[in-house]
Amino acid sequence: MRSSLVPAPVASLPWRLILLVLAVGGFGLTVLYSAAGGSLRPWALSQGERFLLFLVAAVILSRFGEGHIKRWALPAYFVLLAMLLLVELLGAVSGGSQRWLDLGIIRLQPSELMKPAIVLALARFYDLLPAGEIRRFNAIWPAGVLIGLPAALVLLQPDLGTATMITLGGLTVMFLAGLPLRLFVGGALLLAAAMPVAFATMHEYQRNRVLIFLDPESDPLGRGYHISQSKIAIGSGGVFGKGFLNGTQSHLDYLPEGHTDFVFATMAEEWGLAGGLAVIGAYLLIVRWAMRVAMAARSRFSRLAAAGLATTIFFYFAINLMMVMGLAPVVGIPLPLVSFGGSAMMTVLLCLGILMAIERSNRGRT
């Protein structure tokens, strides 16, 4: 039922999604407020401003047509690839590892934007590829190059978590594009076989993270500290938590990174299993909405792009939660919309903006 009081462009927004995002973001701000010991500063206030800014940007992005996005997919990818190379060169010159470019008004982390960009680029690639070619080698090697280059550059930074996400995002699109199933099964087997080799070539700190993930109690005060303290925070919260502002793990500084990567543990300590299930449920609903957008999409590009972006959002929260609950090594993936920091929030809202644009074109003409 359409009310004449609300202008059509506003009424046509996917309000269920926006309310969901507002709920998760608002809850995140509440957690940051508590993590600062019951204070808007230094985190909740600036995070709230950023959240609103990016949300508005996402809504504006949704007004763009599918054609625009399709046209910009590959150029954006190559620009980001060039920026990744630049970051790498700057890092080599300054003699340290660097992940961002200072653009004056904003510190841009190209590897972060590469997560949606790789999805769009591959979606565009398979869109351009004639249907008959999909089971040929021509369908594989360009995609491999498109994924491999940024993944390798990010791995050099070194940022194992982001490189993994870029690769997984790309592989998802390849899978959805219809490449033969045996490639993925074979690849998985190959990966399992290659694991020891990869382990041998890892950086010392990456290797330690993996080892500690396998046995966090081996060094509870040293390198296993993050995972141990995070599990203590979550486990001690119980079903309904210790209550808002009553978390001890976070307030007494036992939980490291309690406002960034381990913000879920801060939340779970105070809100318990109930809060945790609410966050997991909200994320699954957001992903479900995005997957529905993909299913309903009319063009091959928008189908692949929407499903790929949905999976990117999914990877974010799944990897972060697995890490926080001791199911994955500590790889430095924040919980988007909740963790303090702009990059992940920007990426996820960018994904949602594009998804809203696709959703709008699903409803609209053509």
Partner 1 sequence: MKFSPVKRPARLVTEQSQAFTFTRRAWLLGGLQLGVGGLLAGRMAWLSIAENEHYRVLAESNRVQLVLIPPRRGWIVDRHGKPIAINRTDFRVDIIPDRLKDRDATLAALQSVLGLPPEEMERVREELAKAAGYQPVPVAEHLDYERYAAVTLRLPSLAGVAPASGYARFYPAGAAVGHLVGYVGTASAADYEASKNPLLITPGFKVGKEGLEKTMEERLRGQPGAKRAEVTARGKIVRELTTRPETSGAPLQLTIDAGLQEYAGRRLGEESGSAVVIDVDSGDLLCMASMPCYDPNSFSDGISHSEWDMLSQDARHPLINKVLSALYPPGSTFKPAVAMAALEAGIDPEQNVSCPGGFRLGNRFFKCLGRHGPMNMHRAIAKSCNTYFYTMGYRIGFDRVADMARRLGLGQEFDIPVASQRYGTIPDTAWKERKYKQKWSGADTLNASIGQGFVLLNPLQLAVMASRVASGNLVQPRLLRGDGKPLQPLPFAAEHFQTVRGGMWEVVNGNGTAGASRLPLDGIQMAGKTGTAQVRRIVGSQRGQSGDWKYRDHGLFVFFAPTDRPRYAGSVVIEHGMGGARAAAPVARDILTYLFDREKALKRLFALEQDWGGDLATRMTRQAAEFRAARATPPPPPAPAAPVAGNAAAPAEDLD
Nearer to partner 1, 79 or 278 (CB): 278
Please state the closest distance from residue 265 (CB atom) to partner 1, in A. 10
| CA angle centred on 332, ends 107 and 93, rounded to 5° | 45
- Residue 357 phi, psi (nearest 5): -65, -45
| Site membership for partner 1, residue 64 (CB under 8 A) | no
Residues 253-292 that bind partner 1 (CB under 8 A): 253-254, 268-269, 272-273, 276-277, 280, 283-284, 287-288, 291
| Site membership for partner 1, residue 311 (CB under 8 A) | yes
| Site membership for partner 1, residue 307 (CB under 8 A) | yes
Residue type, 178: G
Rg (CA), the chain: 21
How far is residue 331's CA from residue 157's CA, in Å, rounded to a whole number? 13
Part in contact with partner 1 (CB under 8 A); list of ranges 23-31, 67-75, 202-210, 306-314: 306-314
Binding mask 166-195 for partner 1 (x = CB under 8 A): ------x--xxxx-----------------
Please give the distance of CA 43 from its chain centroid, rounded to a whole number: 20
| Site membership for partner 1, residue 238 (CB under 8 A) | yes
Concatenated DSSP letters of 267-314: HHHHHHHHHHHHHHHHHHHHHHHHHHHHHH--SHHHHHHHHHHHHHHH
Of the residues 252, 363, 365, 366, which one makes contact with partner 1 according to CB under 8 A? 252
| Site membership for partner 1, residue 236 (CB under 8 A) | yes
Nearer to partner 1, 51 or 317 (CB): 317
How far is residue 92's CA from residue 314's CA, in Å, rounded to a whole number? 33
Nearer to partner 1, 149 or 287 (CB): 287
Please state the closest distance from residue 314 (CB atom) to partner 1, in A. 5
Cβ neighbours of 141 (radius 10 Å): 11
Please state the closest distance from residue 177 (CB atom) to partner 1, in A. 8
Residue 321 and residue 335 in contact, taking contact as beta carbons nearer than 8 Å:
yes
Of the candidates 231, 233, 228, 270, the one whose C-alpha atom is nearest the C-alpha of residue 249 is 233
Residue 141 and residue 312 in contact, taking contact as beta carbons nearer than 8 Å:
no
Binding mask 323-342 for partner 1 (x = CB under 8 A): --x-x---------------
Please state the closest distance from residue 280 (CB atom) to partner 1, in A. 5
Residue 150 and residue 80 in contact, taking contact as beta carbons nearer than 8 Å:
yes
Part in contact with partner 1 (CB under 8 A); list of ranges 37-45, 97-105, 160-168, 299-307: 299-307
> How many alpha carbons fall within 13 Å on the CB side of residue 142?
14
- Residue 86 phi, psi (nearest 5): -65, -45
Part in contact with partner 1 (CB under 8 A); list of ranges 54-62, 154-162, 188-196, 232-240: 232-240
Of the candidates 79, 124, 175, 119, the one whose C-alpha atom is nearest the C-alpha of residue 312 is 119
Part in contact with partner 1 (CB under 8 A); list of ranges 22-30, 43-51, 132-140, 142-150: 132-140
How far is residue 23's CA from residue 12's CA, in Å, rounded to a whole number? 20
- What is the 3-state secondary structure of 110-135? HHHHHHHHHHHHHHHHHHHCCHHHHH
User: How many residues bind partner 1, per CB under 8 A?
Assistant: 49
| Site membership for partner 1, residue 223 (CB under 8 A) | no
Please state the closest distance from residue 73 (CB atom) to partner 1, in A. 18
Nearer to partner 1, 9 or 238 (CB): 238
Nearer to partner 1, 122 or 234 (CB): 234
Q: Which residues are CB-contacts of 14 (< 8 A; sequence separation ≥ 6)? A: 289, 356, 359
Of the residues 294, 331, 337, 345, which one makes contact with partner 1 according to CB under 8 A? 294
Site of interaction with partner 1 (CB under 8 A): 131-132, 134-135, 172, 175-178, 229, 231-239, 248-249, 252-254, 268-269, 272-273, 276-277, 280, 283-284, 287-288, 291, 294-295, 300, 303-304, 307, 311, 314, 318, 321-322, 325, 327
